[in-house]
Protein backbone atom coordinates (compact mmCIF):
# COMPACT_ATOMS: atom_id res chain seq x y z
CA UNK A 1 0.00 0.00 0.00
CA UNK A 2 1.41 3.37 -0.98
CA UNK A 3 2.26 6.22 1.39
CA UNK A 4 -0.14 8.50 -0.51
CA UNK A 5 -3.11 6.46 0.69
CA UNK A 6 -2.08 6.67 4.35
CA UNK A 7 -1.43 10.35 3.98
CA UNK A 8 -5.10 10.90 3.09
CA UNK A 9 -6.31 9.29 6.38
CA UNK A 10 -6.71 11.37 9.59
CA UNK A 11 -3.84 11.15 12.03
CA UNK A 12 -4.25 10.21 15.68
CA UNK A 13 -0.93 11.42 16.93
CA UNK A 14 -1.66 15.08 16.32
CA UNK A 15 -4.36 17.46 17.73
CA UNK A 16 -6.93 17.80 15.02
CA UNK A 17 -9.92 18.83 17.27
CA UNK A 18 -10.45 22.52 17.95
CA UNK A 19 -10.42 23.04 21.74
CA UNK A 20 -13.71 24.38 23.24
CA UNK A 21 -13.86 27.97 24.34
CA UNK A 22 -14.61 29.10 27.93
CA UNK A 23 -18.43 29.13 27.62
CA UNK A 24 -18.50 25.69 26.00
CA UNK A 25 -16.29 24.36 28.78
CA UNK A 26 -18.68 25.74 31.48
CA UNK A 27 -21.61 24.10 29.68
CA UNK A 28 -19.75 20.78 29.60
CA UNK A 29 -19.01 21.04 33.32
CA UNK A 30 -22.67 21.84 34.13
CA UNK A 31 -21.90 25.32 35.39
CA UNK A 32 -24.01 27.00 32.73
CA UNK A 33 -27.17 25.98 30.88
CA UNK A 34 -27.10 26.08 27.19
CA UNK A 35 -29.68 28.46 25.71
CA UNK A 36 -32.44 26.74 23.84
CA UNK A 37 -32.78 27.98 20.32
CA UNK A 38 -35.81 30.19 19.76
CA UNK A 39 -37.78 28.95 16.79
CA UNK A 40 -38.44 31.48 14.12
CA UNK A 41 -42.21 32.00 13.98
CA UNK A 42 -44.03 33.96 11.36
CA UNK A 43 -45.30 37.36 12.48
CA UNK A 44 -48.87 36.27 11.81
CA UNK A 45 -48.60 33.38 14.33
CA UNK A 46 -47.27 35.73 17.02
CA UNK A 47 -50.15 38.15 16.49
CA UNK A 48 -52.74 35.36 16.85
CA UNK A 49 -51.65 34.59 20.46
CA UNK A 50 -52.18 38.18 21.68
CA UNK A 51 -55.87 39.05 22.31
CA UNK A 52 -57.10 42.22 20.74
CA UNK A 53 -58.13 45.10 22.99
CA UNK A 54 -61.69 45.05 21.70
CA UNK A 55 -61.95 41.33 22.51
CA UNK A 56 -61.26 41.93 26.22
CA UNK A 57 -64.57 42.25 28.10
CA UNK A 58 -65.03 43.47 31.65
CA UNK A 59 -67.92 41.93 33.59
CA UNK A 60 -69.44 44.87 35.52
CA UNK A 61 -71.71 42.54 37.49
CA UNK A 62 -68.82 40.48 38.85
CA UNK A 63 -68.75 40.59 42.67
CA UNK A 64 -66.10 42.71 44.23
CA UNK A 65 -64.12 40.95 46.91
CA UNK A 66 -64.69 42.60 50.28
CA UNK A 67 -61.82 43.36 52.55
CA UNK A 68 -61.30 40.57 55.04
CA UNK A 69 -61.07 41.96 58.59
CA UNK A 70 -57.83 41.45 60.39
CA UNK A 71 -58.00 38.30 62.48
CA UNK A 72 -55.82 39.96 65.08
CA UNK A 73 -58.49 42.51 66.01
CA UNK A 74 -60.40 41.79 69.28
CA UNK A 75 -64.19 41.76 69.25
CA UNK A 76 -64.99 44.07 72.18
CA UNK A 77 -68.66 43.10 72.19
CA UNK A 78 -67.79 39.52 73.14
CA UNK A 79 -65.49 40.78 75.91
CA UNK A 80 -68.23 43.05 77.29
CA UNK A 81 -70.75 40.20 77.24
CA UNK A 82 -68.29 37.97 79.11
CA UNK A 83 -67.70 40.65 81.77
CA UNK A 84 -71.46 41.14 82.24
CA UNK A 85 -71.94 37.39 82.62
CA UNK A 86 -69.19 37.22 85.24
CA UNK A 87 -70.73 40.15 87.15
CA UNK A 88 -74.11 38.40 87.28
CA UNK A 89 -72.48 35.18 88.45
CA UNK A 90 -70.60 36.98 91.24
CA UNK A 91 -73.79 38.77 92.37
CA UNK A 92 -75.72 35.49 92.51
CA UNK A 93 -72.90 33.84 94.45
CA UNK A 94 -72.84 36.67 97.00
CA UNK A 95 -76.61 36.50 97.46
CA UNK A 96 -76.52 32.74 97.92
CA UNK A 97 -73.70 33.03 100.48
CA UNK A 98 -75.58 35.72 102.43
CA UNK A 99 -78.81 33.69 102.41
CA UNK A 100 -76.95 30.64 103.68
CA UNK A 101 -75.36 32.71 106.46
CA UNK A 102 -78.77 34.06 107.51
CA UNK A 103 -80.24 30.56 107.63
CA UNK A 104 -77.28 29.37 109.70
CA UNK A 105 -77.59 32.23 112.19
CA UNK A 106 -81.34 31.70 112.49
CA UNK A 107 -80.84 27.99 113.14
CA UNK A 108 -78.22 28.71 115.81
CA UNK A 109 -80.42 31.33 117.47
CA UNK A 110 -83.46 29.04 117.50
CA UNK A 111 -81.47 26.29 119.18
CA UNK A 112 -79.13 28.17 121.52
CA UNK A 113 -81.16 31.20 122.63
CA UNK A 114 -83.52 29.21 124.88
CA UNK A 115 -80.59 27.33 126.37
CA UNK A 116 -78.67 30.56 126.98
CA UNK A 117 -81.72 32.21 128.53
CA UNK A 118 -82.12 29.31 130.96
CA UNK A 119 -78.46 29.54 131.97
CA UNK A 120 -77.84 33.28 132.06
CA UNK A 121 -81.23 35.04 132.11
CA UNK A 122 -81.41 35.29 135.89
CA UNK A 123 -77.83 36.60 136.02
CA UNK A 124 -78.58 39.25 133.38
CA UNK A 125 -81.77 40.43 135.12
CA UNK A 126 -80.01 40.54 138.48
CA UNK A 127 -77.15 42.58 137.01
CA UNK A 128 -79.34 45.24 135.33
CA UNK A 129 -82.20 45.43 137.83
CA UNK A 130 -80.45 47.64 140.47
CA UNK A 131 -79.89 50.35 137.86
CA UNK A 132 -83.47 50.16 136.54
CA UNK A 133 -85.38 50.39 139.84
CA UNK A 134 -85.44 53.85 141.45
CA UNK A 135 -83.49 53.97 144.69
CA UNK A 136 -86.53 55.31 146.58
CA UNK A 137 -88.92 52.66 145.22
CA UNK A 138 -90.37 50.39 147.88
CA UNK A 139 -92.54 47.31 147.62
CA UNK A 140 -90.95 45.94 144.42
CA UNK A 141 -92.66 42.80 143.13
CA UNK A 142 -90.88 40.37 140.79
CA UNK A 143 -93.21 38.09 138.80
CA UNK A 144 -91.70 35.20 136.83
CA UNK A 145 -92.18 31.51 136.10
CA UNK A 146 -91.53 29.30 139.13
CA UNK A 147 -88.14 28.10 137.89
CA UNK A 148 -86.97 31.57 136.87
CA UNK A 149 -88.43 33.13 140.02
CA UNK A 150 -86.36 30.78 142.16
CA UNK A 151 -83.14 31.65 140.33
CA UNK A 152 -83.92 35.39 140.47
CA UNK A 153 -84.43 35.22 144.21
CA UNK A 154 -81.01 33.60 144.57
CA UNK A 155 -79.26 36.16 142.32
CA UNK A 156 -80.99 39.30 143.68
CA UNK A 157 -80.47 38.03 147.23
CA UNK A 158 -76.76 38.80 146.83
CA UNK A 159 -77.66 42.50 146.77
CA UNK A 160 -78.90 43.18 150.32
CA UNK A 161 -80.17 46.70 149.53
CA UNK A 162 -82.34 45.45 146.67
CA UNK A 163 -83.33 42.11 148.21
CA UNK A 164 -84.90 43.82 151.20
CA UNK A 165 -87.27 45.74 148.92
CA UNK A 166 -88.27 42.86 146.58
CA UNK A 167 -91.00 40.30 146.83
CA UNK A 168 -90.88 37.29 144.46
CA UNK A 169 -94.17 36.04 143.03
CA UNK A 170 -94.18 32.80 140.95
CA UNK A 171 -96.50 33.14 137.91
CA UNK A 172 -97.48 30.12 135.84
CA UNK A 173 -98.98 32.39 133.18
CA UNK A 174 -95.59 33.85 132.21
CA UNK A 175 -93.21 32.20 129.82
CA UNK A 176 -89.98 30.55 130.84
CA UNK A 177 -87.99 33.58 129.65
CA UNK A 178 -90.31 36.37 130.84
CA UNK A 179 -90.12 38.42 134.01
CA UNK A 180 -92.22 41.39 135.19
CA UNK A 181 -90.97 43.82 137.82
CA UNK A 182 -93.33 46.45 139.27
CA UNK A 183 -93.46 49.03 142.04
CA UNK A 184 -95.97 51.68 143.03
CA UNK A 185 -94.84 54.31 140.55
CA UNK A 186 -93.74 52.14 137.62
CA UNK A 187 -92.45 48.84 136.38
CA UNK A 188 -90.66 47.00 133.59
CA UNK A 189 -90.86 43.73 131.69
CA UNK A 190 -88.10 41.38 130.51
CA UNK A 191 -89.41 39.68 127.35
CA UNK A 192 -86.61 37.54 126.00
CA UNK A 193 -88.92 35.55 123.73
CA UNK A 194 -89.94 38.83 122.10
CA UNK A 195 -86.26 39.77 121.77
CA UNK A 196 -85.55 36.51 119.96
CA UNK A 197 -88.48 37.06 117.59
CA UNK A 198 -87.31 40.61 116.89
CA UNK A 199 -83.79 39.39 116.07
CA UNK A 200 -85.09 36.70 113.73
CA UNK A 201 -87.43 39.19 112.06
CA UNK A 202 -84.45 41.47 111.51
CA UNK A 203 -82.61 38.63 109.80
CA UNK A 204 -85.62 37.94 107.59
CA UNK A 205 -85.79 41.63 106.63
CA UNK A 206 -82.11 41.63 105.66
CA UNK A 207 -82.64 38.52 103.55
CA UNK A 208 -85.64 40.07 101.76
CA UNK A 209 -83.58 43.18 101.00
CA UNK A 210 -80.80 41.07 99.48
CA UNK A 211 -83.28 39.13 97.35
CA UNK A 212 -84.65 42.38 95.89
CB 140 within 8 A of CB 169: no
CB 116 within 8 A of CB 123: no
Do residues 210 and 98 make contact, with C-beta atoms less than 8 angstroms apart?
yes
Secondary structure string (H, E, C) spanning 36-91: CCCCCCCHHHHHHHCCCHHHCCCCCCCCCCCCCCCCCCCCHHHHHHHHHHHHHHHH
Give mean pLDDT in consecutive 10-residue pieces for the chain, a chain of 212 residues. Answer: 59 58 68 58 55 54 56 71 85 83 76 71 86 88 90 89 90 86 89 76 68 60
**The pLDDT of residue 72:** 56
pLDDT value, residue 17: 55
> What is the per-residue pLDDT for 142?
92
Q: What is the pLDDT of residue 160?
A: 86
In angstroms, the CA 43 to CA 45 distance is 5
pTM attached to this predicted model: 0.43
Angle of helix 146-156 versus helix 76-132 axis, rounded to 10: 70
Amino acid sequence: MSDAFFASLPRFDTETVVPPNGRQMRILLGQEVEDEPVPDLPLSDMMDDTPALEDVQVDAAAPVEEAVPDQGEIDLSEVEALIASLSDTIARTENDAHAQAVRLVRSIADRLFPELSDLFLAEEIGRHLPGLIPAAAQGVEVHASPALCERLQEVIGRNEALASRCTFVPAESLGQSDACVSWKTGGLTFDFDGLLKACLARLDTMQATMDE
